[in-house]
Amino acid sequence: MTTLSERISQSAFDGSRLRVVLLLDLHDGAQQNFLEAYEHMRNQVASVPGHISDQLCQSIENPSQWLITSEWESAPPFLAWVNSEEHVETVRPLHNCVRDTRSLRFSVLRETGRLHTPPAADATQGGLQPFPRVGDNVVRHALTFTVKPGSEAVVADILSGYRSPQSKVDEHTRLRRTSLFMHGNRVVRAVEVEGDLMAALRHVARQPEVRAVEEAINPYLEQDRDLNDPDSARVFFTRAALPAVHHLASAGTDDEAVKRHALYYPAKPGCGMALARLLAGQDEAAASDPSTPIDSSTIFQRDDIVVRLVDVRGSGDAAPLQVIGAHGPRKAAMLSRLLDSEALGIDAPATEEDMSKLLSSADMRPITDRHAP
């Protein structure tokens, strides 16, 4: 068991307000077109549930550098918006104006100007993050997509056979680990990056061995894409994004006996965020149990797709309910109500015994797990 201060953690579910910072570098001469596109976009964003306010700023030193900041009641409504098809279409007019972007997301811990308002006192404005979390300078992100039924074996062979790209991106950024799993015809690729995630993703995309793999799987994808068309590639990877919404690990753990599992939880329509929140609470509870076999857990969620990456000491057979996230009174029933059992090809689980069986159905097939040297 580790104390709260010893845990490495990140979470979208602490109820604190969210500050989003978007740094943009515009093409020369595109400023007016960008401003007009933003004026149209901001009216749509203002109506999104959970949105509080936003600001558009232009650098006083370099007119090509712009900044958009927005404030949200909490992280979940922002994540639901930014990962939606509506968002993809809303920001499309901005693409031709922008040379480069970088998005940063922060929970609000402290602020001036509202000292009379205690944290979380105003539910409509969100609260303040109650305490600073401990990090490890690692960003976790995943991509998911589906391939044509019947092509799974070919795709798995392609995705497992390439040479790993150079792990060092620059002085501050390097690839640390890439884990790839499949469940039926769904592929999930999870990456761990020390430093700047976007710099690492751009670095990987430029590597010839990775480019060759991406081209090789193109004929088997259910969603068409053209990697030579920037707009097509951008839309594909935007739709494939599976962001991390919760991560918890013991600080300083390095155990060779730990085995990585990826568990697939298709949610009932509209229940993806609630399912991810339930699993996050289960992992928080497991971290306080000294007998837990779970060393770390990362939950990725987009729409009704939830994937949980779990590092387990030993086989996990001794505590299957903790591994699947259904340990405790009524937790099996709660998980059953949110889970789309039919999508997993099983009868609706409701009891603890059913949940033990669910573990084998949700466990994704490992394709490759690469560590940086």
For the stretch 119-157, pLDDT in tens is 444 444 568 888 888 888 899 999 999 999 999 999 999
**Of 96, 74, 98, which is closest to residue 16 (Cα–Cα)?**
74
The whole-number average pLDDT for the span 27-42 is: 91
First vs last C-alpha separation in the chain: 29
**Of 221, 226, 172, which is closest to residue 200 (Cα–Cα)?**
172
Stated pTM of the model: 0.89
**Of 211, 161, 153, 212, which is closest to residue 185 (Cα–Cα)?**
153
Q: What is the mean pLDDT of the chain?
A: 87
Band (5; pLDDT cuts 50, 70, 90): very low
Above pLDDT 90, what percent of the chain? 51
The whole-number average pLDDT for the span 211-218 is: 93
35 compared with 332, residue with greater pLDDT: 35
Whether pLDDT at 44 is above 80: yes
Helix axes 208-217, 197-206, angle to 10 degrees: 80
Class of CATH domain 138-241: alpha beta
Q: What is the pLDDT of residues 230-276, one digit of tens each?
A: 888 888 888 899 999 999 997 555 566 789 999 999 999 999 999 99
**Of 97, 193, 90, which is closest to residue 143 (Cα–Cα)?**
193
Class of CATH domain 244-370: alpha beta
Q: Do domains 138-241 and 244-370 have the same CATH topology?
A: yes
The whole-number average pLDDT for the span 276-301 is: 91
Structural fold of domain 17-106? Alpha-Beta Plaits (3.30.70)
By three-state DSSP, how is residue 187 classified?
Answer: strand
Q: Find the length of the chain.
A: 373
pLDDT score for 123 = 44
Q: What is the pLDDT of residues 164-202, one digit of tens each?
A: 888 888 888 999 999 999 999 999 999 999 988 888 888
200 compared with 351, residue with greater pLDDT: 200
In the chain, domain spans: 17-106, 138-241, 244-370
* 8 A C-beta contact, residue 130 and residue 119: yes
DSSP codes, 266-285: EBPTT-HHHHHHHHHHHHHH
pLDDT score for 254 = 56
DSSP codes, 293-362: -EEEEEEEEETTEEEEEEEEES-STT-HHHHHT--STTHHHHHHHHB-HHHHTS----SHHHHHHHHHHH
* 8 A C-beta contact, residue 282 and residue 328: yes
Whether pLDDT at 352 is above 90: no
CB atoms within 10 A of CB 272: 23
